[in-house]
Amino acid sequence: AQSVAQPEDQVNVAEGNPLTVKCTYSVSGNPYLFWYVQYPNRGLQFLLKYITGDNLVKGSYGFEAEFNKSQTSFHLKKPSALVSDSALYFCAVREAHDMRFGAGTRLTVKP
């Protein structure tokens, strides 16, 4: 079965600095990869996905993610962090109808 790991529980960055939230995955076939964001007391919101094509995927709110097949990674990035980006971020992988989420990474952007 597929799995996904987010090695960092917490990431802290200063506003204006670039941010990276890490994700690695394991699947038996071609990966369908996703990033979701959860703000306090809210459901998850879709940010971006990788199905096929370009390794650099652009998504909502200025986020992008880089698919790296050799390293089985799908790290989320943003060139310049905003305080409003502070939230819980989830990486997910889908294989057939089975969806697996990582444990989440809490991003805190400080002014």
Partner 1 sequence: EAQVTQNPRYLITVTGKKLTVTCSQNMNHEYMSWYRQDPGLGLRQIYYSMNVEVTDKGDVPEGYKVSRKEKRNFPLILESPSPNQTSLYFCASISRLDEQYFGPGTRLTVT
Long-range contacts of 34-37 (CB under 8 A, 24+ apart): 34/91, 34/92, 34/93, 34/94, 35/59, 35/63, 35/65, 35/74, 35/76, 35/89, 35/90, 35/91, 35/92, 36/89, 36/90, 36/92, 36/101, 37/61, 37/87, 37/88, 37/89, 37/90
Applying CB under 8 A, which of residues 43, 53, 54, 111 lies at the interface with partner 1? 43
Q: Is 58 in the site for partner 1 (CB under 8 A)?
A: no
Applying CB under 8 A, which of residues 51, 62, 69, 108 lies at the interface with partner 1? 51
Q: Is 101 in the site for partner 1 (CB under 8 A)?
A: yes
Q: Is 45 in the site for partner 1 (CB under 8 A)?
A: yes
The size of the chain, in residues, is 111
Interaction with partner 1 in 62-91: which residues (CB under 8 A)?
90
Q: Is 31 in the site for partner 1 (CB under 8 A)?
A: no
Q: Is 106 in the site for partner 1 (CB under 8 A)?
A: no
Closer residue to partner 1 (CB): 16 or 75: 75
- Taking a C-beta distance cutoff of 8 angstroms, is the pair 109, 86 a contact? yes
- Binding-site ranges for partner 1 (CB under 8 A): 6, 32, 34, 36, 41-46, 49, 51, 90, 92, 94, 97-104
